[in-house]
Amino acid sequence: MNLKNKNPIHFTIIFIIACIMLIVTFWISIVCGSADIDTSTILNAIFNYDPKDMNHNIIIDVRIPRDIGALLVGVALAVSGAGIQSVTRNSLADPSLIGLNSGAALMLALTYAVSPVISFPILILTGFIGAMAGGTMVLMIGRSRKDGFNPVRLILAGAAVSALLSAASQAIALYFRLNQSLIFWSSGGVSGTTWQQLYIGIPVVAIVVIIFILLSGQLSILNLGESVAKGLGQNVKIIRAGTMLLSMLLAGISVAIVGQIAFVGLMVPHISRFLVGTDYKKVIPLTAVLGGCLVVGADTVARMMGEAPVSAIISFIGVPYFLYLIKKGGRTI
Which residues in 155-214 contact another protein (CB under 8 A)? Answer: 155-161, 163-164, 166-168, 170-171, 174-175, 179, 183, 186-187
- Please report whether residue 332 would count as binding another protein according to CB under 8 A: no
CA separation for the pair 54, 206 (Å, rounded): 31
> Least separation, in Å, of the C-beta of 94 and another protein?
9
Indicate the SS3 state at residue 324. Answer: helix
**What is the DSSP-derived secondary structure letter of residue 4?**
-
Q: How many CB atoms lie within 10 A of CB 40?
A: 8
**What is the DSSP-derived secondary structure letter of residue 25?**
H
- Please report whether residue 326 would count as binding another protein according to CB under 8 A: yes
Binding mask 38-77 for another protein (x = CB under 8 A): ----------------------------------------
- Please report whether residue 269 would count as binding another protein according to CB under 8 A: no
Do residues 55 and 35 lie in contact, with contact meaning Cβ atoms separated by under 8 Å?
A: yes
> Least separation, in Å, of the C-beta of 113 and another protein?
14
Q: Which amino acid is at 7?
A: N
Choose, by CB under 8 A, the member of 52, 146, 233, 274 that binds another protein: 146
Give 89 or 282: the residue with its C-beta nearer to another protein.
89
Which residues in 109-138 contact another protein (CB under 8 A)? Answer: 137
Do residues 269 and 89 lie in contact, with contact meaning Cβ atoms separated by under 8 Å?
A: no
Give 19 or 156: the residue with its C-beta nearer to another protein.
156
Give 24 or 319: the residue with its C-beta nearer to another protein.
319
CA distances from 120 to 43, 48, 128 (A): 29, 29, 12
Do residues 75 and 209 lie in contact, with contact meaning Cβ atoms separated by under 8 Å?
A: yes
From 20-28, 149-157, 209-217, 246-254, give the range in contact with another protein by CB under 8 A: 149-157
Give 204 or 262: the residue with its C-beta nearer to another protein.
262
Own/partner contacts of 59-67, CB < 8 Å, gap of 24 or more, are 59/30, 61/195, 63/29, 63/30, 63/33, 64/30, 65/193, 65/194, 65/195, 65/197, 65/198, 66/190, 66/191, 66/193, 66/299, 67/26, 67/29, 67/30, 67/296, 67/299
Element (H, E) at 143: strand 143-144
Give 277 or 309: the residue with its C-beta nearer to another protein.
309
- Please report whether residue 309 would count as binding another protein according to CB under 8 A: yes
- Please report whether residue 304 would count as binding another protein according to CB under 8 A: no
Indicate the burial class of 270 (C-beta count within 10 angstroms; 0-12, 13-18, 19 or more): buried
- Please report whether residue 151 would count as binding another protein according to CB under 8 A: yes
Residues contacting another protein: total by CB under 8 A: 45
- Please report whether residue 333 would count as binding another protein according to CB under 8 A: no
Do residues 189 and 259 lie in contact, with contact meaning Cβ atoms separated by under 8 Å?
A: yes
Give 166 or 220: the residue with its C-beta nearer to another protein.
166
Q: Which residues bind another protein (CB under 8 A)?
A: 92, 96-97, 137, 141, 144-146, 150-153, 155-161, 163-164, 166-168, 170-171, 174-175, 179, 183, 186-187, 262, 307-309, 311-312, 315, 318-319, 322-323, 326-327
